[in-house]
Amino acid sequence: MAVRKVLRYGEPSLREVSKDVHKVSKKITDLVRDLLDTMYSQNGVGLAAPQIGENVRVFVIDVSTGNEPLNPIVFINPKIIKKSGAIKSNEGCLSFPEAYTDVKRYKNVMVKATNEHGKPFVIEAKDGTLLARAIQHEYDHLDGILFIDHCMNRFEADAVLEKYNLPHIDPDLLIDEKELEEELAKND
């Protein structure tokens, strides 16, 4: 369909909670195609609707690499129904061009969602795979949460953001993740 402009960190709409999709209409399937076109054009792994200015609960992920065929997964109205374990992950985001930092994530997640054909499905991603981390990253976008809100070290993350002329972290938006921190401390 179309490659859309990806909103950069600092745009207020990236912090808004997205609305549920009530029907997988042509408008939603067009949005899904735009998300995929935009994600692939930027060599992304995932992209959420809020990142292109559409505050609805839709995101896409494709973790295929190299010569593997494209394997897009569409998530409409996703819900994380199970999560466990902890992993440190170095993440970036298309809304934060070139900026990467270490964040805390669950190692295992199970999600139920609807696909672009209106069919419900459940997917489980384990062992801190790219898919497990990407699901959490994109899911957060639907709630106005950004990957930097999970940062391991706020000051290191701020230095990275400053290097790329992006706004500093808002300390009030950092997520208290004692459970993940304790789990990670056990693994060190």
Which residues form the catalytic set?
138
- Rounded to an integer, what distance in angstroms lies between the CA atom of residue 35 and that of residue 52? 8
Could you give the residue ranges of the DSSP H alpha helices within the chain?
26-41, 130-142, 154-163, 178-187
Phi, psi of 109 (to 5 degrees): -140, 150
- Rounded to an integer, what distance in angstroms lies between the CA atom of residue 116 and that of residue 135? 16
- Rounded to an integer, what distance in angstroms lies between the CA atom of residue 150 and that of residue 141? 12
Give the residue carrying structure tokens 């000051």: 155
Assess contact for 171 and 160: CB atoms under 8 A.
no
Amino acid at 125: A
Phi, psi of 73 (to 5 degrees): -120, 130
Amino acid at 103: V
